[in-house]
A and B are shown apart, each in its own frame.
Chain A
Amino acid sequence: MIPVAFDYKKASSVQDALAALAAGGEDAKLMGGGQSLLPVLRLRLNAPSVVVDCSSIPEIKGIKDEGGKIVIGAGTTHHAVMNDPAVKSSLKVLADATASVADPQIRHRGTLGGALAHSDPRADQPPVALALDAEFTIAGATGQRTVAAADFFQGPFETAVGPDEILVSVAFPKLDGWGGHYEKFNRAAQAWSIVGVAATVRMEGGKIAEARIGLTNVGGTPHRASAVEQALVGASSIAEIEAASMHASDGLSPFADEDADVEYRLHLARVLTARSVAKAAGIS
């Protein structure tokens, strides 16, 4: 379908975007790469008064290696994130998860910040940001503030970014020497995850010394599997990884949909966590 008519403003800076948001009132909508918003507009599920296009704001694009962390501008495309040498070497789990998003055409336009701020419960990068304790920098009329990943994801399609604010960048602590893997389970190429598990581990003498695990599509927000992380310490075999991964469904109350009922989702959470950790640890 053809979207409902709207005004369009191409923002040239963060300040410009904030001014356009304020002027547009409550029905103004920010657009990153538009790969989630435009399908929604075509289905006429949303009718913004003004679309503020953030895809040409230089200051929110690009990837910076800042010593202990990698700072990714919110407007950086998935394609740029997954191919960045620093991301590939220090944040393999993010590169893997990003490479699994949709398809090449969508990864050319879609942005990391757009996907995180959209916060679809099925999205692949939110569990990575949560597991890695990423820090979100958000700009508003009164300046910038920083929000921890644990506080960023607040519900399905709901984040800490206020209606008059814009996500500027996301900082990920570098995990040099850690193994990483994103295990995605879906029905068809380019489909959403039925369940996805981001795992990253630090090995010491053939044993898991530290692990960070995030799951997607097992609730309204990404889930940090802290119990699995603790249980994995010292694991060196598949059997030990599988035993620890039984905790992946602890405390979960997932929804049922056309892809999976509740029991099946809990099963997937456990099985995919074990697979993801094994691959991240290089244990087979």
Chain B
Amino acid sequence: MQHIKVTVDGTTYHKEVEPRTLLVHFLREDLGRVGTVVGCDTSNCGACTVLVDAVSVKSCSMLAVQADGSEITTIQGVSDGNDWHPVQSAFKECHGLQCGYCTPGMVMSSIDLLNENPNPTEAEIREGLEGNLCRCTGYHNIVKSVQRAAELMEGAKS
């Protein structure tokens, strides 16, 4: 077992983990933060995407021990508990989900995309989300949601 210190959604945890524990399993099973889901378990689908030190990472492709000392944001940490994150609002408004399983990852990847490129073209959105699969194939509304989120975030700035 190895000792790690991580900050997840604003709370700092000290935990003992086995080196082979994947970050997604640590989040779900050790911390009970089950908003982050396991989709494919082959690093394809992106459903488990979280932000590690502010950049998107597939938490099934990182060891919990590697997260030692880092700050993690999951889907459960993007809202302050009162107001939704603009990306969440946009996904609701544009119906950017069908079954909802890919949504936590889609939202986290969209936040990362908009952090890096606040005003993406449709092509840039589609490329920026290439690491996230929606098996309902609801991509059209997901792209519209990201476009709407960009508008909301731009509006919030002015």
A189 located at the interface, meaning its Cβ lies under 8 Å from any Cβ of chain B in the complex:
yes
Decide if B27 is an interface residue (CB 8 Å cutoff): no
B42 in contact with A42 (CB, 8 Å): yes
Chain B hits for A103, CB < 8 A: 46, 130-132
Inter-chain CA distance A53–B67, complex, in Å, is: 12
Which residues of A pack against B, CB within 8 Å? 1-8, 10, 34-35, 38-39, 41-43, 51, 53, 55, 79, 102-106, 108-109, 189-190
Contacting pair A10 B20 (CB below 8 A):
no
Query: Which of the four size classes fits the interface of chain B?
Result: 20 to 34
Asked if B131 and A105 make an inter-chain contact with CB atoms under 8 angstroms apart, the answer reads: yes
Report the bound CA distance from A8 to B22 in whole Å.
Answer: 13
Q: Does B18 sit at the interface, judged by CB under 8 A?
A: yes
Distance (Å) between the CB of A73 and the closest chain B CB? 18
Nearest CB on B from A41, distance (A): 8
CB-contact partner of A34 in B25, B44, B63, B127, under 8 A: B63
Q: For the complex, is B16 an interface residue (Cβ under 8 Å from A)? A: no
Can you show 18 pairs from A to B with CB atoms below 8 A apart?
A1-B41, A2-B21, A3-B20, A5-B18, A39-B42, A42-B41, A43-B42, A51-B63, A53-B63, A53-B65, A55-B66, A102-B131, A103-B131, A105-B61, A105-B131, A108-B57, A189-B127, A190-B130
With a cutoff of 8 Å between Cβ atoms, the chain B residues found around residue A2 in the complex are 20-22, 25
User: Which B residues are within 8 Å of any A CB, using their own CB?
Assistant: 2, 18-22, 25, 41-44, 46, 49, 55-58, 60-63, 65-66, 68, 109, 112-113, 127-128, 130-132
Q: Shortest distance in angstroms between B117's beta carbon and chain A's nearest beta carbon?
A: 11
Q: Is A189 a contact of B130 with CB atoms below 8 Å? A: yes
B113 touches A104 (CB 8 A): yes
Contact flag A109-B61 (CB < 8 Å), given A5-B20, A7-B19: yes
Cβ B20 vs Cβ A4 within 8 A: yes
Q: Are B62 and A38 in contact (CB under 8 A)?
A: yes
- Given A42-B22, A104-B113, A108-B57: 10 more A-B contacts, CB < 8 Å: A2-B25, A38-B22, A38-B63, A53-B66, A103-B132, A104-B112, A104-B131, A105-B49, A105-B57, A105-B131
Q: Which residue of A lies closest to B42 (CB)?
A: A39
Please state if A8 and B131 are interface contacts (CB–CB under 8 Å): no
* CB pair B55 A106 closer than 8 Å: no
